[in-house]
Each structure stands twice: as C-alpha cells, then as structure tokens.
Amino acid sequence: MGVVFEQLLNALQLGLSLFIIAAGLTLVFGIMGMLNLAHGSLYMLGAYFCAALWAYTDHFALSVVGAIAGTALVGAAMEWLILRRLYERDHLDQVLATFGLILFFNELVRMIWGAGALYIDIPELLIGSVDLPGGGSFNAYRLVLILAGFLLAAALWWLVVRTRLGMKIRAVASQRAVMPAMGINTSTLSAVVFALGAALAAVAGALTAPLYSVQSGMGDALLIQSMLVLVIGGIGSVRGAFLAALLVGVVDTIGRLLPGTIGAPNSIGDVSVYLLMIAVLSFRPDGLFTRN
C-alpha cells in the first residue's frame, strides 16, 4: 500500500511540475495566440539563474525569487524585441523564430556557465523523507513541490478568472482587434502576459533544479510534454491544463512502472502519454475544456 501511495505522489509531483510550465504556455499560446517554442528555454533560464544565485548567496528562497524576477524580465524583453512583430504572422513564422531562440539560449548558457552541468543542494530544512500511511516514505522536498503546485494553480485560476487583469487577458484573447478602442493597451498587456508566462516557467525550473542537473537544453524535452498538456487540456484553458497535467503525470508514471519490450525497457512509458492524447482527442477533438 505504501508503494502505491508513493507512486501516486510521484505522479502528482510530476503532473504539477508540468502544469506550472504548461500554464505559462497556455497563457502565451492559448490566450495570446503566440506559438512560443522557446518556452522550454525560459524554464532552463530559471534553473540557471537559480543555480547561479544559490552559488553566490547560499540562500535557496532568495535564489528562487531572483530567478523568477530575472526570467520574467527576459520574457518581457523577448516579447518586446522579437515576438510582438509576429502576432499578425502565421504560426510557421512563429515556429521558425522561436526555434531560433531555442538555439540562441542553449548556446548562450554554454558561453556563460560552460558546457558542464550545475547542481543545487536541497535546502537543509527539507532534507530527508516523510513516512507514508501503510509503510514507505516520500522525499520531503517533493512534498513541498506538490504543495507549491497546488498553491500556484489556485493563484493562477484566481488571477485569470477573478481579477481585472484576467478579464483584460481573456478579452484580448477573444477580441484583440477592438481592445484599443476600449482603452486597453494591448502591447503593454502582451508584455505582461509574456513576463507572467516566463515567471511560471522559471518557478518550475528553479524549484525542480535541486532534483535534476542544470544543463543546456534541459527544457527541450519538457516543452514537448507541455505541448501535450496544452492539447489534451484544451487550447487556452487553465483548468484544462491542470487536469491534463495530472493525467499525464499519472499515465507517465504508471507507464514507466510497466515492463517494456526487449531492448526497450521504457517503451511503454515513452508512448503512454501519446496514447492518452490520442484517446482524449478521439472523443473530444478540442481537448477536455474550451478556452477560459
């Protein structure tokens, strides 16, 4: 029983980490209409900023805050300098431009921090494990990540659905052309949304950095999973992204526990999330939920 509970917590932690990344992608692509393949690079920058600040300050919480602020500024600058010129262009142009940004950021971090991986220690207060009902234990830091994921999900839902800023974001998503006539500065709002999306990617990168090595290209694979979450949940739906991320986390975890084929021990885990996407889109072609 304890082993089952432990695997469920692993799935929950993975799902919530994916949601934090995919939530930023939902805001940028699903709501603002920009297909930003460089979103995974912002996740990577959040991890690098956190590692650099941790090495300098030896204070994890301060490093996370600094990483979020720094990556948000990079996101806003990226939107202002490059991406706002692509709003009226088709998605192919957006893909080509943001793919170029992936290559740029991957090489940039190699130039600044070197080709070797960086590592961050788990904060001393969170070292160790927590006993689970029915036996077994679970990493204390991963439990904190689960709690942080739920808190961020609630905060993002409140921001999009209950605040004036969220109302403007949803209005621009549906009727962007008429917003200037209503006194809404769409250029400023777009920069704010991109900064928010970058900050969410940085949260995921900074908080998961102690669990993985920080290295160039670390966000590329997560971008694919985030796109799956976006498609399964429904383009532009925050609640859809939340539910889809949890489903992907559970399916991926279960798939990797099952035996694979000869010579490919993780084959089931590798394809399980794609089978989930096919199953969902077969019954709901627009995803689980429509735009918020």
Which is more confident, 15 or 133? 15
CA–CA gap between residue 284 and residue 268 (Å, rounded): 24
- pLDDT band per the 50, 70, 90 thresholds, residue 247: very high
Q: Where are the alpha helices (DSSP H) in 84-219?
A: 91-113, 140-162, 164-174, 186-208
256: confidence class by pLDDT, cuts 50, 70, 90:
confident
- Which position has the higher pLDDT, 179 or 157? 157
* pLDDT, tens digit (0-9, with 9 covering 90-100), for 56-69: 888 899 999 999 99
How confident is the model over 89-98, as a mean pLDDT?
Answer: 88
Rounded mean pLDDT, 177-193: 75
What's the pLDDT tens digit per position in 19-59? 988 888 888 876 677 888 899 999 999 999 999 999 888 88
| pLDDT beyond 60 at 137 | yes
Percent of the chain at pLDDT above 70?
Answer: 88
State the CB neighbour count (10 A cutoff) for residue 16: 24
pTM of the model: 0.89
Mean pLDDT of the 107-125 span? 90
pLDDT attached to residue 48: 96
Indicate the CATH number of 2-283 among 1.10.287, 1.10.10, 1.10.3470, 1.10.1330: 1.10.3470
Report pLDDT digits (tens) over 73-84: 999 999 989 888
The rounded Cα 51 to chain-centroid distance in angstroms is 18
Distance CA 255, CA 273 (A): 8
